[in-house]
Structure 1
Amino acid sequence: MTATLLNHRAEGPTSAPPLLLGPSLGTSYALWDRIAPELSITHRVVRWDLPGHGGSAADLIGPGATVADLADLVLALADSLGIERFAYAGVSLGGAVGLQLAVHHPKRLSSLAVICSSAHFNGAKPWEERAARVRSEGLDWLVESADARWFTPGFTVPRLVQDQRDADPEAYAACCDALAAFDLRERLAEIAAPTLLVAGRDDQATPPAHLREIADAVPGAALVELPRAAHLAPAQCPEAVLTALRAHLDGGAKRGMEVRREVLGDAHVDRAQARQTAFTARYQDFISRYAWGEIWTDPTLSRRERSMITLTALVAHGHYDELAMHVRAARRNGLTPDEIGAVLLQTAVYCGVPAANSAFAAAQRVLAEDGEA
């Protein structure tokens, strides 16, 4: 049976925000081995292999392939996993796929990180020549120069060099065809997704100037240049790339913290942050990112409506301490004391009179403290 999807590896909770990671030409998803497990703490990470690389079938693309063809394969993979919208990060050819997605499929991307890549790859001729030689001679001559093309002198990652050796020559050449035809410079200003560019200062394949060109054209884009990093920065400088990606991907937590403060008040959030320990830090991040950064920011329901639902749910489960906190939150969200009372009266019918008794007592105490009862 012919494979129709890119080979991939998924890590992290299925309920977490999805993040797709794209590889460089000649490598497999092993390029992300030092980074993906860390990112999977807060994201559903899906890293994929190019056609003819790693575990992906070689016949997924053919001669004359384009980066658009690769982007379509990535979307097909996301669809198969039930992923509608996702953050994306890619290296070199994988980064070009990200740019293609951002320009032509903007509704699918929540954010974009382009690492050691470019909006063009120095014209068609070098890639046409490489494709022709690979088709006639295979890949051994490229294996010999892999370390020099990918890393600074004296550094190597044997697994990635082996990926180059094991790649299918025809599929590799088709990827070269895609790079030969790729040029999105005229469309960069259309990119609306929050965008991070990461350049290796010692990258000879896609020098920092290529990333600066993208950063200058994409509205609001950020650029990070890594010293002592060449073309495969995620393998050579994983800590630096991880730090840049975490800061970039943390937008949901940042917005979540803003909403959390708007609804619960600075005093409450400051107390919660002051009590935070290394043991509870990931939980606090989860609350800010998921509950406040995704659910409370969803415009489908107003904050008034969310407060009414939250009060009801807290009464139903007997969480009266948290109910008191959300009575104050309901006032900030525009509910009057009478409306809060009406919500609690509704809970007497559907959650029981004893639960409503406790709820009214808790709400009465909060409103009295605030001079409103």
Structure 2
Amino acid sequence: MGLESILPLVYYLFASLITIVGLKQRRAIRILLLGPIWLLSLLSLISSHRLSWLIGADSTLASLLVFYMLYSTELLAFDRLAVNPEAGSQDWSFVDCYRVWNNPRKLPLRLSTSKKAPERALTSHVRFSVFRSIKAVALWTFERFCFQSLFVRALGRVVIADFSPDMELLVFPLSFHQFQVRVIMSIQWIWRAYFFLEFYHSLLAIVFVGILRFDDPGEWPDLFGSVGEAYSVRGFWARFWHQLTIPTYVFYSRAVCHRLMGIRLGSFLEKVTVPLIVFTISGLSHSLVGWALGDVALSRDILFFELSFLATTVETAIWKTPLTSTFISRLPGTLKLVVGMTWVVVFFTCVSPLWIYPKVYHTLLNPAE
């Protein structure tokens, strides 16, 4: 394994260091620094496929980089932060700037605290590192020895025709095998995304909390919420799925709404347009990741997220009607959860093949690529 195999990480490391150090510079300099930051980020993105030797690292890094280009621009050009020189004359430390940079979820920040942690804090750091190590090992073990074998067995004997363009739309009558493939493929992308993000999040938490001691355990909360919150498509995206990108995407969405489109703050149109733009940015981001990794059917990434937006909008419109709201409130909690999660599974079973099947079909037809 040579330098080329880790080159994407080297590019990203330097881009991150420039961003962290740049937070202490004047706004004009911060904007100029976006040039080398974007250049290094793009170099890392187009070479991210070199990380394919490390399980899921290529797609995880590519997703991070696409988000990072928007996030670093927000940090350096638009946000007014405590560590910026315009906010005061305090000499903020590198760790302070790192904490600001490493906070895309906009969690409460702890700045300029003593570097000497009390003994009980050291114990909590060790306990946290042990727990995250166990979690990372458990995730990897389940993925390697359980999910992959279960996935293959559940799929059964698939053929290329199972993923052909004719199979993308849910058209009845549907054989049990075809239905089985749709359900398994819909579950597969959810688990894989969950696994990759939680696995690498746990490893990074060990580095920055347990080894470098830059952060406290409470500053690395879990990425995902409870699966019990995914009893609607809106709940799936807003309460269960990770929120790493949402604050940044909402920032740009509101800027488009208010400054470019002139939509009034708090209006009904804003409440519809902001999530529409957020889902659109998500789709475009996934398309860019796919492009960097040599994927196909990139427009389907956008279609998938637009359909997700449509589902959340319809859900909101239906559930806010007095009759529906009264009916749902009277349902037993368990029944509401079962019915809601069944609907979510049905939605993804119908929609996910439009997104996934063209990519699988191309891979099966061109195995050498």
TM range (shorter): under 0.3
Q: Indicate the structure (1 or 2) with the bigger Cα radius of gyration.
A: 1
Q: Report the structure, 1 or 2, having the larger helix content.
A: 2
What's the TM-score once normalised by structure 2's chain length?
A: 0.24
What's the TM-score once normalised by structure 1's chain length?
A: 0.24
| Greater relative CO, 1 or 2 (CA 8 Å, sep 6+) | 2
Q: Report the structure, 1 or 2, having the larger strand content.
A: 1
